[in-house]
Amino acid sequence: MAAGFLNKATPPHVFTLVTAAAASTLSMNVFLPSLPGMARHFDAEYAVVQLAVSLYLAATAILQLFIGPASDRFGRRPVMLFCFALFILGTVAALYAPTIELLLACRLLQASSAAGMVLSRAIVRDTVEAAEAASKIGYITMGTSLVPMIGPIIGGFLDEFYGWHATFLLMLAAGLFAFAIVWLDLGETNRQKSSSFAAQFRTYPEVVGSRRFWGYTLTAASTSGVFFAFLGGGPYISSEILHLTPSQYGLYFAIVSIGYMLGNFMSGRFSRTVGINRMMLYGNVVTVLGMMLSIALFWSGYNHPLSLFGPVFFVGVGNGVTLPNANAGIVSVSSHLAGSASGLGGALQIGGGAVLAVVAGALLTPETGPYPLLWVMLLSALAGALFTLYVMWVSRHPGKEA
């Protein structure tokens, strides 16, 4: 049945899924330019205010473990609406938070918007087959990839003219809009609800016992880990080694976002015909070649921003090709556990990537140059390719699947 917009009797429109997924991304990064102003407002150390980012990511990873099973038990629609209601509540409370501690608590509530990303993948798997799911997830991710590219720019202007509260007002508007669109367009797509919430958690061993699940999840974690490592170490290299200003870093970062959008488009265009496993392998190969090029350029003495951001364009392309297919694979391991698989896979993906971000940032010093970051990124990309080959091997030997 074709999707009809604002018609709950048909599968949700792709615009609805993009809106729900983008709200989570927006709340993650739109307020980043406001962090110094927030530190001054609350008279707090900058490192404490930065917890508004790291705590949000940690809560997002943990919540995904519960959002998926809850949607398998109670349905995608009620869980999505409940989570966005919590997000709206947390955002309103953040606007009036008198202390930084209360603001951080509000950020934990805002992390419930992770339902938008987790459940959009599960909803796609509810309504289409695995190959088409990778294509549709690719288009959804392409739409949401605009947010991290323009979010900090919009947030910077809002903060400059109206103060940090304006960025949270924008989050509130996005949350209200997402809630309204989901209410009007998203019917229930989960036709195989589990018997109880406890029973749903007891099915986790079925997911965890699947070798294909681990292959797809570790592919996604390794692939996204390349990008997370870049987020952790890229700003340091840009400022301390390449001597870029924050605005110049933002402009160069757009190169990565454009690559990611291109990769998402290629995933949406070709996954159905090429197949998700081969698309994952192609994406990882592109990422590996990009990182080898960056290492070669710096080793040859070309200490230019494009020696970093030019090759990282291919990291964006590789991520854009690999991740939609890996996520489609995660939720296709067992159709009746799509929500649980999406939640657990997403938690492991974010958690693993965040660890690599910390590692990359910790290894960098002015003496080391950019090489620790570049090697971490290259090794992570190689791991992604190896895990993809493992998935392909398991797929060719069904008897090897646990």
Digitized pLDDT (tens) for each residue of the chain, 402 residues in all: 445 677 777 888 888 999 998 898 888 777 777 777 888 899 987 667 777 777 787 788 888 778 877 888 888 999 999 999 999 999 999 999 999 999 999 999 999 998 998 888 788 878 877 667 767 776 776 666 677 667 767 877 788 788 889 999 999 999 999 999 999 999 888 877 766 666 666 666 767 767 888 888 899 989 988 887 887 677 778 777 888 776 677 678 778 888 888 898 888 788 888 888 999 999 999 999 999 999 999 999 888 999 999 999 999 999 989 988 888 888 777 666 666 677 777 778 877 776 776 677 677 777 888 999 899 999 999 999 999 999 899 888 765 554
In the prediction, which pLDDT does 349 show?
80
- Answering whether pTM is above 0.75, one says no
Q: Decide if domain 14-186+193-201 falls under CATH 3.40.50.2300.
A: no
**Measured distance CA(212)–CA(35) in Å, rounded:** 41
Collapsed DSSP state (helix, strand, coil) of residue 352: helix
Tokens encoding 307: 């020696």
DSSP character for 194? -
Radius of gyration of the chain (CA): 20
In the prediction, which pLDDT does 247 show?
66
At 267, phi and psi to the nearest 5? Answer: -65, -45
Closest-CA residue to 156 (of 46, 34, 22)? 34
**Measured distance CA(362)–CA(370) in Å, rounded:** 12
Task: Please list, in sequence order, all residues whose beta carbon lies within 8 angstroms of the beta carbon of residue 158, skipping any fewer than 6 positions away.
Answer: 34, 166, 167, 170
In the prediction, which pLDDT does 310 show?
93
In the prediction, which pLDDT does 108 show?
93
3-state per-residue secondary structure call for 253-264:
HHHHHHHHHHHH
In the prediction, which pLDDT does 225 show?
85
Q: What residue spans define the domains of the chain? A: 14-186+193-201, 204-397
Task: Please list, in sequence order, all residues whose beta carbon lies within 8 angstroms of the beta carbon of residue 131, skipping any fewer than 6 positions away.
Answer: 271, 272, 275, 276, 328
Q: Do domains 14-186+193-201 and 204-397 have the same CATH topology?
A: yes
Write the Ramachandran bin of 6: left for phi over 0, alpha for psi from -120 to 50, otherwise beta.
left
Domain covering 204-397: architecture: Up-down Bundle (1.20)
- Pinpoint the alpha helices (H) of 203-245: 204-208, 211-236
Tokens encoding 169: 């007002």
**Measured distance CA(359)–CA(231) in Å, rounded:** 11
**Measured distance CA(104)–CA(293) in Å, rounded:** 40
Task: Please list, in sequence order, all residues whose beta carbon lies within 8 angstroms of the beta carbon of residue 258, skipping any fewer than 6 positions away.
Answer: 149, 313, 316
Tokens encoding 122: 């599960």
Mark 280-306 as b/e (b = at least 16 C-beta within 10 Å).
Answer: bbbbbbbbbebbbebbebbeeeeeebe
Total count of residues recorded for the chain: 402
What's the one-letter identity of residue 317? Answer: V
Cβ-based burial of 20 (10 A; exposed 0-12, middle 13-18, buried ≥19)? buried
Closest-CA residue to 220 (of 16, 401, 77, 64)? 64
Distance of CA 26 to the CA centre of its chain: 11
In the prediction, which pLDDT does 205 show?
73
Task: Please list, in sequence order, all residues whose beta carbon lies within 8 angstroms of the beta carbon of residue 46, skipping any fewer than 6 positions away.
Answer: 35, 36, 39
In the prediction, which pLDDT does 1 show?
44
Closest-CA residue to 197 (of 306, 302, 343, 95)? 343
**Measured distance CA(21)–CA(8) in Å, rounded:** 18
**How many DSSP H helices and E strands does the chain contain?**
18, 0
Closest-CA residue to 130 (of 325, 266, 261, 264)? 325
Tokens encoding 341: 């698989």
